[in-house]
Chains A and B, each alone.
Chain A
Amino acid sequence: MTRAWRGAALAAIVVVLVVGLTPYLWMFATSFKTRLDTLSDVPIWTFQPTLEHYPEVFLDKEYLPLLWNSVAIALGTTLLSLFVGVPAAYVFARYQFRAKEDLFFFFLTTRMAPSISIVVPMYLLFNYFGLIDTKFAVVLAHTTFNLSLVVWMMRGFFADIPVEIDEAAQLDGHSRAGAFARVLLPLAGPGIAATAVLCFILSWNEFLYVFILASFESRTLTVGIPGLVTPHGTLWGQVAAVAVVATLPILIFAALVQKHLVRGLTFGAVKG
């Protein structure tokens, strides 16, 4: 690549980064701005930061439980999806059976299923069992997409481990189940961790299911933020404060599993 080319490429990347990051940084800054600075006619770039919005919204307006709900629900669905999905992924990676690809396709469609299409009957179902506005209901709803994410991602990770390892473990004295639990699971550990983080992120960011199934006691941060937006006099500092708390951990997690992100988002079809 010539020097000029290199310069142009670098400039393009800088522009892309600025466009990509400015909106988020603006929101981030807003969470530290006084009300006056936020509402200023001319955008204010330098300001005296204030920390007032965070305690206001999390303590006075009692948004702290929402944070706990977000964590509990995301953890719950992650554990459930892994517990059920990892063994299933192992079967898909190792066994040959008729209808395997069809079953696999079924798992794909569940990942794709538009929540708007099943949230009504799901509401009726959970209502029937008295589960509306419980974390458990949301965990189950989020498992619809996370379970298939686990199956798709972990299938790839298991496929990366040579079959000979399973066989060696069996000849070393393990049963099939034992070889899976004692040898393959530890080997797939990093993959499981990455999958878990992605599950967590997807659940944490989800909106519609929580919105419909748990709009009061069990609502999460993502559903809590719009509640602060009113036609008249939205407190943008507080909105921004919640938004920051609702996004910053996710950004850190995402950076951690970036290597495996591609695999997770393409259902294992493309390796990162």
Chain B
Amino acid sequence: MAIAFRRIRKVFDDGTVALDDFDLGFENGEFIVFLGPSGSGKSTACRILAGLETPSKGAVEVDGNDITSLAPRQRGMSMVFQHYALYPHKTVYENIAYPLRVRGENEGEIERAVREVADMLGIADLFRRRPKQLSGGEAQRVAVARALVWKPEICLMDEPLSNLDALLRLQTRAELKRIHRELQKTFVFVTHDQEEAMSLGTRIAVLDRGRLIQFDTPQAIYHRPATRFVAEFIGRPAMNTIDGTIEAGNFRAGELTVPMPDPMPGPAVLGIRPEQIELVDQPGPDVVTMTLDIKEVVEPDTLLTLKRGEVSVVVRTLRQVSGLQTGDDVHVRLPASALHTFASQDGRRLS
């Protein structure tokens, strides 16, 4: 089963353009992540797929059939909501059983399915509680159970982890991965957290201001970001981006000069990830010397903010640098293989 967004445009009543020319397709069994900052349209895309919003233009297709006008219940999809949306007046068991009841399953089948999904999520002992008596993590699991109990082909998750604390978020993340592997269903997961996206997605759709910027595997997105925006959004600390110009085989920004093997003269943006900058002991031909401005120790890493004139870069290193003081000279190498270049104007990838 293939799902496709066909040139979707969504304008809200107040005039905000939530999605514009949104075109995307993926196959069954994938774990697709919609990633973007708030206001990027990622939730809207998910809700349009669910049928909770109607696109202003364009169509949603499943296996080539236009499902744009179908109601949510006719689409065979389920959803986990950000605030879980458990029915406060029903017990946990009844919450999970509800989609089956609405679809008219018989009591025995309901019982069996609820047990199965509850065992998978480890919540069978919560059956008789009410949503109010659940912790955040428990409520979250119940919500997932309710979404999976009737084995929908597609399960949508709209920022389901954003209300959990950090540790629980990590655990649930691992668990979702396991469940996805076991069930072999399509998951569509919305998040603003790039780390979540990178660890969960088989493919990630990065959105910004209503447009699809890049749709690719996590590796490709990390190593070959399509735009400056993607480059800066993926990876923590964010990729260093330096505005400058390329001339005569060199990239120049203020006092900084970096050799560029692939010369295309004109203004450009140079990008390099903090973890790919190498600290070296001696100055050399391809080594830049900079001044240490700020040092933050985030065990086991150390983050160094280095300056040279107007240019400032962040370096993440595992090396012991306890001897370094603010104002010291630091020698760094910017490996050619780790360099990215983007157009100054629209941020498009150049290399």
Contact = CB atoms under 8 A, between A and B. Distances in A.
Contacts of B82: 164
A7 interface: no
A175 B73 contact: yes
A267 B147 CA distance: 38
A145 to B, nearest CB: 31
B169 interface: no
Interface in B74-114: 77-79, 81-89, 98-99, 102-103
Contacts of A144: none
B81 A167 contact: yes
Contact of A167 (B79, B86, B99, B102): B79
A235 interface: no
Contacts of A173: 73, 99, 102-103
Contacts of B88: 187
A184 to B, nearest CB: 10
Contacts of B13: 96
A40 to B, nearest CB: 58
A186 B87 CA distance: 10
Given A162-B83, A164-B85, A183-B87, A172 B98 contact: yes
A168 interface: yes
B231 to A, nearest CB: 34
B18 to A, nearest CB: 14
B83 A170 contact: no
Interface in B132-182: 146-147
A169 B50 CA distance: 12
Interface in B34-84: 50-52, 71-73, 77-79, 81-84
Given A164-B81, A164-B82, A170 B71 contact: yes
A170 B52 CA distance: 8
Contacts of A103: none
A187 B87 contact: yes
A218 B85 CA distance: 48
A176 B78 CA distance: 16
A186 B84 CA distance: 19
Contacts of A84: none
B78 A171 contact: yes
A159 to B, nearest CB: 15
A187 B99 contact: no
A31 to B, nearest CB: 43
A-side interface mostly = helix
A159 B52 CA distance: 18
A178 B74 CA distance: 13
Interface centre among B52, B72, B147 (most CB of A within 10 A): B72
Interface string B182-224: 0000000000000000000000000000000000000000000
Contacts of B86: 168
Nearest to A182: B102
Contacts of A178: 102
A173 B75 CA distance: 9
B102 A186 contact: no
Contact of B85 (A96, A167, A174, A176): A167
A165 interface: yes
A169 to B, nearest CB: 8
B71 A175 contact: yes
Contacts of A186: 89
Contacts of A162: 83, 85
A172 B146 contact: yes
A172 B71 contact: no
B87 A165 contact: yes
B73 A168 contact: no
Given A96-B13, A164-B81, A164-B82, A171 B72 contact: yes
A225 B148 CA distance: 64
Interface string A112-142: 0000000000000000000000000000000
A25 to B, nearest CB: 41
A171 B50 contact: yes
A171 B77 contact: yes
Contacts of A171: 50, 52, 72-73, 77-79, 99, 147
Contacts of B85: 162, 164-165, 167-168
Contacts of A176: 71
Interface centre among A162, A167, A170, A172 (most CB of B within 10 A): A172
Given A172-B99, A172-B102, A167 B71 contact: no
A122 B87 CA distance: 45
Given A172-B146, A174-B102, A167 B72 contact: yes
B89 A187 contact: yes
Interface in A25-52: none
Contacts of A167: 50, 52, 72, 79, 81, 85
Contacts of A170: 51-52, 71-73
A78 to B, nearest CB: 23
A66 B50 CA distance: 56
17 contacts: A164-B81, A164-B83, A164-B85, A165-B87, A167-B81, A168-B86, A170-B51, A170-B52, A170-B71, A170-B72, A171-B50, A171-B79, A172-B102, A172-B146, A173-B73, A175-B71, A176-B71
Interface of B: 13, 50-52, 71-73, 77-79, 81-89, 98-99, 102-103, 146-147
For the complex of A and B, the 4 pairs showing the least CB-CB separation, nearest first, are A164-B85, A173-B102, A168-B85, A172-B99
Given A164-B81, A168-B81, 9 more contacts: A164-B83, A164-B85, A165-B85, A165-B87, A168-B79, A168-B87, A174-B73, A187-B87, A187-B89
